[in-house]
Amino acid sequence: MAIRLDGKVASLNIKEQLKKEFLSLDRKACLAIIHFNDLASASYLKGRIKLAEELNVEIKEIAIKEDSRQEEIISLIKSLNDDKSVDGIMIDRPLPKKYDENYVLSFINEKKDVDGYTYNNLGRLLTNSACYPSATPKAAIRLLEYYNIDVSSKDVLVIGRSVNVGKPLALMLLNKNATVTIAHSKTKNIKEKCQKADIIFLAVGKANFLKSEDVNENSIIIDIGINYDENNKLVGDASKLCYEIVKMYSPVPGGVGVMTNIVLMENLLMAYKNNE
């Protein structure tokens, strides 16, 4: 029977420790979240606000109006950079297409960059130096760590190469001595690569992308995908039939997604301390 890598169980442990640390601070740590009022943002926001309440963290939620100009978002970021009561800043990605995402994100003060977007934080990841790790890829790693799964010397396959998830995840795994293959939409023979990999990380964004015939009894699946099926039910990138075959899997929901918000709060704590 496959082992379920449960994000809720893993996050409980970290949450208790974090709560103690946030409660011991001189003032409440504050995370500013800029979002664009869409459905996905609303569901992420709900989870973050709930967690923030549990951890004694303040959330400053800022919804951007549909007709806002890029310069307005940049000046908002600058004012949050200067605001001493704000410790961390995050913007829900992807930004609407009319904005130049990389340009806008580059205005975040790197010391408040709790989701590791800025060029400096990405560069530090590249050089394996201390940085704010991007929350989603770090969450996948934290889940493995909780279950004592060592990636060193393992053949890992990361499917997806976005700056948001796939690329930083591949770098984090490389920094932990995994042998990393990155696959994307132009990659040949992905099914064979899945069969050969010790651990498959899915960051594609397509329900049922990974099928039962792509895995075997030694496979470990870490599913980062967030999709909605025809019944509007949240599902990952792996077909649930894979769960009956593999050695271990992280479910969706209840896997990496739960850990992502926890990592964000870990980064916020780090930012609070760095900004003191």
Applying CB under 6 A, among 83, 175, 176, 205 the residue interacting with ligand NAP is 205
What is the SS3 assignment for 131?
Answer: coil
Using the rule CB under 6 A, is 136 a contact of ligand NAP? yes
Whole-number minimum distance, CB 50 to ligand NAP, in Å? Answer: 15
- Number of chain positions touching ligand NAP (CB under 6 A): 25
Whole-number minimum distance, CB 165 to ligand NAP, in Å? Answer: 4
Rounded Cα gap, residues 50 and 69, in angstroms: 30
Element (H, E) at 264: helix 256-275
Q: 264 with 242: CB under 8 angstroms?
A: no
Element (H, E) at 25: none
**Which residue number, 87 or 92, has a Cβ lying nearer to ligand NAP?**
92
Question: Token digits for 160?
Answer: 């997806």
| The pairing of beta strand 88-91 with beta strand 179-183 | unpaired
Classify residue 272 by its DSSP letter.
H
Question: Token digits for 213?
Answer: 């015939």
CB neighbours (10 Å) of residue 83? 14
Applying CB under 6 A, among 226, 242, 248, 271 the residue interacting with ligand NAP is 226
32 class by beta-carbon count within 10 Å (0-12 exposed, 13-18 middle, 19+ buried): buried
Element (H, E) at 235: strand 234-235
**Which residue number, 22 or 255, has a Cβ lying nearer to ligand NAP?**
255
**Which residue number, 118 or 251, has a Cβ lying nearer to ligand NAP?**
251
Rounded Cα gap, residues 183 and 53, in angstroms: 38
Using the rule CB under 6 A, is 260 a contact of ligand NAP? yes
**Which residue number, 41 or 136, has a Cβ lying nearer to ligand NAP?**
136
- Compute CA distances 231 → 83, 210, 236, whole Å: 44, 19, 14
Amino acid at the residue 227:
N
**Which residue number, 65 or 97, has a Cβ lying nearer to ligand NAP?**
97
Task: For the segment 145-204, give every residue that binds ligand NAP (CB under 6 A).
Answer: 159-162, 164-166, 183-187, 190, 203-204
**Which residue number, 108 or 235, has a Cβ lying nearer to ligand NAP?**
235
Question: Token digits for 140?
Answer: 């996948």
**Which residue number, 219 or 260, has a Cβ lying nearer to ligand NAP?**
260
Using the rule CB under 6 A, is 264 a contact of ligand NAP? no
Applying CB under 6 A, among 225, 238, 262, 264 the residue interacting with ligand NAP is 225
Whole-number minimum distance, CB 96 to ligand NAP, in Å? Answer: 15
Whole-number minimum distance, CB 139 to ligand NAP, in Å? Answer: 6
Whole-number minimum distance, CB 111 to ligand NAP, in Å? Answer: 23
Return residues touching ligand NAP (CB under 6 A).
Answer: 136, 159-162, 164-166, 183-187, 190, 203-206, 224-227, 256-257, 260
